[in-house]
Structure 1
Amino acid sequence: MITWRYASVAGRWRLLTGVVVLTGAAWWLVTTGRPGGLWWLGALVGTAELGAWVVIRVLATQPGLLAIDHTPTISPATLDRFFEHGFDAELGWIRKRNTCKKDLGKYPYRIDDRGSRTNPGHEGLPEIIGTYGDSYTFCREVEDQETWQWHLAERFSCQVLNFGVGNHGFDQGLLRLRREYPTAPTPVVVMGVVPSTIARILSVWKHYNEFGNIMAFKPRFRLDGERLELLPNPIDSREKFFELSKHLDDIQRDDYFYERRFRREAFRFPYLASCLANPRGVLLAPAKAVRRLGGAWPGVGRRVSALIDDRLEGGGVRQTAALFADPEAAALLDRLVAELAAEARLHGFWPLVVVMPMREDLDYIRRHCHFYRTAVDRWRSQLDVLDTADALLDLPADTRIYREWHFTPEANRIVGREVGDLLAARVPERVNIAPSSTAGVSHAS
């Protein structure tokens, strides 16, 4: 199977081919008595280098498209906004308490005084379920009464706490659980993650895998033999953001993607060589632009998305699928799942892991294979796991599952139904229903 890991090997072959061609051309010009042609060859190479520099600089104006081999500058104004709206010394970033905003400028949400997303109409009801995880747990791109937690609360006449945070990994969700549970205990705890959580748990500076995400520093766990070691967030104060050079050696050593992806794909002088080594990085930007416009031409957006996910995007679903086959990455995620099970035994709550595929994940499963099913099967030996891909794949073809990047209200309703069915069957006593009235479980063990 061709994976993202082999891109640098192909790049080295392209560079070698370019060097051989240029050397051969220079040798031919000299041996045929046309040394003046070397000036033309030099001018051609110089012009190509200038053109490559211009292309890279233009593409670099779009955040997240290219890796540039330097430490990005963080302005005080940018840092002020980050500290006001998201910074958290332990976890890296969080949804601030007592805040109200509009996601994408049109989907209002409110965070209460405990840091949980508001669940309107269920205030004061027994707090039965606590949910932790990423943006698919937080439920971006919908309003407060359109989350899957809201549907759970309606079904069981209870309050469901929502501590999800966009771009958090399983590791940050686990740390958030340890922080919040003592003051917000619930009989049931749900950890909701996307498949790419396997990449998120390997990052220390997200910029090294999500190019341009320069504010996102985080803690990570590391396996040292059988021992699970926590590496705290290295940039846990305002001052350290302006002293990055002092911390980069440690960050680069501990971040899985610095050597494996960032250094391989970073564009640097000579830029022509960088373009030869990583042409898909150059092609990615216009491909994404075409995808944005694809709605105007039936089928174009879908085909371009497949091209991006399968061929161009180095950090997308191909990377995620490769990591689930990587022993180091898989072992760490398995251990974090085991840690959640251990927390459940310690505190007496019933744990559930819910996996929610992103659009590219579901498309990949349709076209290729279910790349994380083996991992889900392993986790089920320790706790209950609900893979929502099965229910989503069973929907009629015309069902709209995603808005921009996250679930629609209808998809959240389906997730809420699937989670509710599992809870009703597995732990009816914890969600205040009689065992005789439980519903069947769909797509879960």
Structure 2
Amino acid sequence: MNKPDAQRPRSQAAARIAMILGGIVAGLILLELGLRASTWVYLFNWPNFVRDARTVHTERDTGRHIHDARLGHTPRPAYAAPGIAIDADGLRLTGEVPAGSSAPILAVGDSFTFGEEVADAEAWPAQLQRIVGRRVLNAGVSGYGFDQIVLRAEELAPRYKPGAIVVGFIADDIRRTEMRRLWGADKPYYDIEGQTLVPRNVPVPPRADPRTTLNFWHRTLGYSFLFDFMMQRLGLLYDWFGDHIRVHPPGTGERIACLLTARLAELQRSSGARVLVVAEYDPVVWDDPAFAAKQREMTGALLACAQKQGLATLDSYNAMVGTSKPRQLYVQWHMNGEGNALIARLVAKSLGLKAE
């Protein structure tokens, strides 16, 4: 008899919830339209921002790089763009080769070694070449993890027979060893079995079409200019736009990187080339103390592993602090000519080299 009365509060609660949700949706729609109207362009243009960002990155990356079944990707031979020139072997040009028969110096690393955001002559391998008067091979590759850096050193050392190998890295390269895909490009990675590194994802598959990498949220919220605006303000666009696939939990990369230093030690023995492991720093280190503490911890642990393996190490942190203006040594995300000059001087000193 009282059943209808008992159901009335429930129906009223459901109605209130529906009204609240409807109000929220209506408010979000108004915010979306208002924000688009403020730019005018996007009031009539409704692209999927994630898909477009990944497409642009893919087009840029495939223009500069070629697929490599062992390493993932390498610089495109004979590639040229304003300020950037790659030779026929996929190495960035370092300027006029000094006369003499001394064995070259092989520089491997990520975008900091390659010299993103600066011209060929301003990258630190090119500046090192001018300091020591000895050929320096710039084999840095943007986007590499520490695993790819070691693999590239192992691949190139037998070919060029260097007298020294400089292995540059930033702390994020350690995190990258936990990934199977970075910025849309598949890469090799390692599993750990006991104290052994087991290679995976080799041969590395070609880069996927960015249209096939979108999940449900990318296919829906990717069209929202409001959501894109919020992610940008929160500093989360890196992961929202980036196509990354993680295969190991955070922290695993530190173990992988440490085990990889044994590979560098073996390379030092087999090649006869002295290996120098060089720590460089992301610019955010100078903006965020908590971030800096973690980066320093990861960097210090890897350098300690390298030292235990009998490798020479160089931590550029104190030298950068000593300039009293470390943040001014960057263009935006990478070092400028002055910052790269500092690294080149530190490397020359660590190798005990003087102009020949």
- For residue 396 of structure 1, the aligned residue among 301, 321, 324 is 324
CA distance in 2, matches of 1:341, 1:190: 13
Are 1:411 and 2:346 matched, yes or no? no
2:156 corresponding residue in structure 1: 180
The answer as to whether partners of 2:58 and 2:210 remain within 8 angstroms in 1 is no
The answer as to whether partners of 2:284 and 2:291 remain within 8 angstroms in 1 is no
Q: What is the CA deviation profile of residues 343-378 of structure 1, one whole-angstrom value per residue up to 9, with x for unaligned ones?
A: 111111100111111101243458863323243233
Task: Give the alignment's TM-score, normalised by structure 1.
Answer: 0.61
The answer as to whether partners of 1:137 and 1:165 remain within 8 angstroms in 2 is yes
1:376 corresponding residue in structure 2: 303
Tell me the secondary structure at the aligned position of residue 417 of structure 1.
helix
CA distance in 2, matches of 1:364, 1:63: 30
Tell me the secondary structure at the aligned position of residue 183 of structure 1.
helix
Are 1:61 and 2:49 matched, yes or no? yes
The answer as to whether partners of 1:198 and 1:324 remain within 8 angstroms in 2 is no
The one-letter amino acid paired with 1:336 is L
CA distance in 2, matches of 1:384, 1:34: 72
CA distance in 2, matches of 1:408, 1:63: 31
Unaligned runs of 5+ in 1: 1-28, 66-71, 103-107, 207-212, 249-261, 272-279, 289-307, 316-322, 434-445
Q: What is the CA deviation profile of residues 311-343 of structure 1, one whole-angstrom value per residue up to 9, with x for unaligned ones?
A: x9889xxxxxxx9993x3321110011211111
The answer as to whether partners of 1:136 and 1:407 remain within 8 angstroms in 2 is yes
Are 1:218 and 2:194 matched, yes or no? no
2:35 corresponding residue in structure 1: none
Alignment of 1:4-403 (within 5 A): 33=9, 35-48=11-24, 61=49, 83-90=62-69, 91-102=71-82, 108-122=83-97, 125=100, 126-206=102-182, 213-214=183-184, 216-233=185-202, 235-237=204-206, 241=208, 267=217, 283-288=230-235, 326=251, 328-365=252-289, 369=293, 370-372=296-298, 373-382=300-309, 383-397=311-325, 400-403=328-331
RMSD: 4.0
CA distance in 2, matches of 1:64, 1:51: 26
The one-letter amino acid paired with 1:122 is V
Tell me the secondary structure at the aligned position of residue 104 of structure 2.
strand
Shift of residue 32, structure 1, vs aligned partner: 7.6
The one-letter amino acid paired with 1:396 is S
Task: Give the alignment's TM-score, normalised by structure 2.
Answer: 0.75
Distance 1:396 1:324, change over 3 A: farther
Distance 1:422 1:156, change over 3 A: same
The answer as to whether partners of 1:129 and 1:188 remain within 8 angstroms in 2 is yes
Shift of residue 49, structure 1, vs aligned partner: 5.4
CA distance in 2, matches of 1:203, 1:390: 30
CA distance in 1, matches of 2:20, 2:169: 50
Give the number of equivalent residue pairs.
Answer: 321
Shift of residue 182, structure 1, vs aligned partner: 2.0
The one-letter amino acid paired with 2:78 is N
Identity rate, percent: 22
Q: What is the CA deviation profile of residues 124-168 of structure 1, one whole-angstrom value per residue up to 9, with x for unaligned ones?
A: 554421001100010111112112112221222111000001010
The answer as to whether partners of 1:344 and 1:350 remain within 8 angstroms in 2 is yes
The answer as to whether partners of 1:135 and 1:165 remain within 8 angstroms in 2 is yes
The one-letter amino acid paired with 2:160 is A
Shift of residue 392, structure 1, vs aligned partner: 0.8
The one-letter amino acid paired with 1:332 is I
Distance 1:81 1:325, change over 3 A: closer
The answer as to whether partners of 1:134 and 1:173 remain within 8 angstroms in 2 is yes
The one-letter amino acid paired with 2:349 is D
The one-letter amino acid paired with 1:112 is D
Tell me the secondary structure at the aligned position of residue 192 of structure 2.
strand
Tell me the secondary structure at the aligned position of residue 405 of structure 1.
coil
Unaligned runs of 5+ in 2: 33-45, 222-226, 241-247
